[in-house]
């Protein structure tokens, strides 16, 4: 028994070492070998499937990521983190679906309703489904709950641009400018501010041209 446990621990340590070193291909190869070890417990198998899915997700192989993450969730249905990652595997896939992503984000958020990352993910997915009001409300609440979180701010920017409400996001992102702890974070925030201001101006331009058309004594020509 102790010898078998040592084999499991050694194999898992090799996997973790490859992940920490950024050798994702090696980590996936070791995980395939690990999953073929006899007498793995349900918890060990679920953990290995989840990590395999996460690695495939980081490589942009969304179908494979979903396959492994779904197996992990089936083996251990109470892990909200894995449900969230399965939602990401749908949301980030260009041929995925917002409705399927929202379903898994909602399951993760239901288990941990105070988690701002899960709330923001669900909000963005709902906006993608056309449920703009509820999605925007969830995004804003998540951003206020974790004002310095770059992943949440990024979702806020994307979601509000899609919803056609860049002004709402701009106020939150401008406030987050003073919470940046690193120069890189500050650069991200400044880029989002420029992006939101551009979207603001783009949305206001047709209104401005329409107002000028009626106020000027001569016709306004394009160009």
Structure tokens of 10? 């050694």
Residue 4 has pLDDT above 70, yes or no: no
pLDDT band at residue 6 under the 50/70/90 scheme:
low
Cα-based angle 152, 156, 160 (whole degrees, multiple of 5): 170
Could you tell me if residue 118 is inside a domain?
Answer: yes
Within 8 A by CB and 6+ apart from 7, the residues are 37
Q: Are 143 and 156 in contact (CB under 8 A)?
A: yes
Radius of gyration of the chain (CA): 23
Domain-embedded: residue 102: no
- Which of 132-141, 167-176, 209-218 shows the lowest mean pLDDT across its residues? 209-218
**pLDDT reading at 219 higher than 60:** no
Tell whether 86 and 124 lie within a shared domain. Answer: no
pLDDT for position 223? 43
Task: Name the least confident of 38-42, 65-69, 176-180.
Answer: 176-180
Lowest mean pLDDT among 187-191, 202-206, 209-213: 209-213
Please determine, for residue 70, whether its predicted confidence score (pLDDT) is greater than 60: yes
Return the CATH number at 31: 1.25.40.10
Q: Is 166 found in the same domain as 67?
A: no
d(CA 12, CA 33): 10
- Looking at 130-134, 167-171, 204-208, which range is the least confident one? 204-208
Residue 14 forms part of a structural domain = no
137 part of a folded domain: yes
Residue 142 in 3-state DSSP? Answer: helix
Same domain, 217 and 124: yes
Are 62 and 139 contained in the same domain? Answer: no
Asked which of 58, 92, 126 is the last residue of a domain, the reply is: 92
Is residue 87 a part of any domain in this protein? yes
Cα(73)–Cα(85) distance, rounded to whole angstroms?
A: 10
The answer to whether residue 109 sits within a structural domain is no
H-state helical runs in 59-145: 62-75, 80-91, 98-111, 116-128, 132-145
> Is there a single domain that holds both residue 125 and residue 220?
yes
> Same domain, yes or no, for 118 and 219?
yes
To the nearest whole percent, how much of the chain has pLDDT over 90?
A: 71
Structural domain count, the chain: 2
- Whether residues 221 and 138 share a domain: the answer is yes
Q: Is the dihedral of CA 17, 21, 26, 29 positive or negative?
A: positive
5 vs 129, which has greater pLDDT? 129
Helix (H) or strand (E) holding 216: none
123 with 212, same domain?
Answer: yes
Query: What number of H helices and E strands is found in the chain?
Result: 11, 0
Q: Which of the two residues, 161 and 39, has the higher pLDDT score? A: 161
Decide if 144 is inside a domain.
yes
pLDDT at 54: 97
| C-beta atoms surrounding 85 within 10 Å | 22
Residue 163's domain comprises 114-223
Among 55-59, 101-105, 119-123, 207-211, name the one with the lowest average pLDDT.
207-211
> What predicted TM-score, i.e. pTM, was given to this entire model?
0.85
Q: Is 62 exposed, middle or buried (0-12, 13-18, 19+ CB in 10 A)?
A: buried
The reply to whether 60 and 154 lie within a common domain is no
Band of residue 162 on the pLDDT scale cut at 50, 70, 90: very high
Mean predicted confidence (pLDDT) in 175-188: 87
Burial profile 27-50: b = 16 or more Cβ within 10 angstroms, e = fewer: bbebbeebbeeeebeeebbbbbbb
- Give a yes or no: residue 108 inside a domain: no
pLDDT for the residue 217: 54
Q: Are residues 131 and 196 in the same domain?
A: yes
Q: What is the CATH number of the domain that holds 133?
A: 1.25.40
Whether residue 123 is found in the same domain as residue 223: yes
Same domain for 38 and 118, yes or no, is no
Check residue 182 and give its pLDDT: 86
């Amino acid at each position: 028994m102790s010898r078998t446990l040592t084999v499991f621990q050694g194999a898992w340590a090799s996997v973790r070492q490859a992940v920490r070193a950024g050798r994702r291909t090696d980590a996936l190869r070791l995980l395939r070998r690990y999953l073929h070890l006899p007498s793995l417990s349900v918890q060990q198998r679920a953990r290995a499937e989840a990590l395999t899915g996460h690695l495939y997700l980081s490589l942009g192989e969304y179908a494979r990521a979903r396959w492994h993450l779904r197996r992990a969730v089936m083996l251990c249905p109470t892990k909200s983190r894995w449900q969230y990652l399965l939602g990401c595997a749908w949301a980030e896939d260009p041929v995925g679906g917002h409705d399927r992503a929202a379903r898994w984000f909602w399951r993760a958020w239901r288990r941990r309703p105070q988690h701002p990352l899960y709330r923001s993910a669900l909000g963005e997915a709902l906006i993608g489904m056309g449920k703009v009001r509820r999605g925007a409300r969830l995004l804003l609440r998540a951003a206020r709950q974790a004002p310095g979180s770059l992943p949440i701010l990024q979702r806020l920017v994307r979601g509000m641009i899609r919803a056609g409400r860049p002004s709402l996001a701009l106020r939150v992102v401008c406030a987050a400018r003073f919470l940046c702890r690193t120069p890189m974070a500050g650069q991200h925030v400044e880029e989002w501010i420029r992006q939101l201001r551009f979207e603001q101006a783009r949305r206001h331009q047709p209104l401005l041209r329409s107002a000028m058309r009626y106020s000027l004594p001569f016709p306004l020509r394009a160009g």
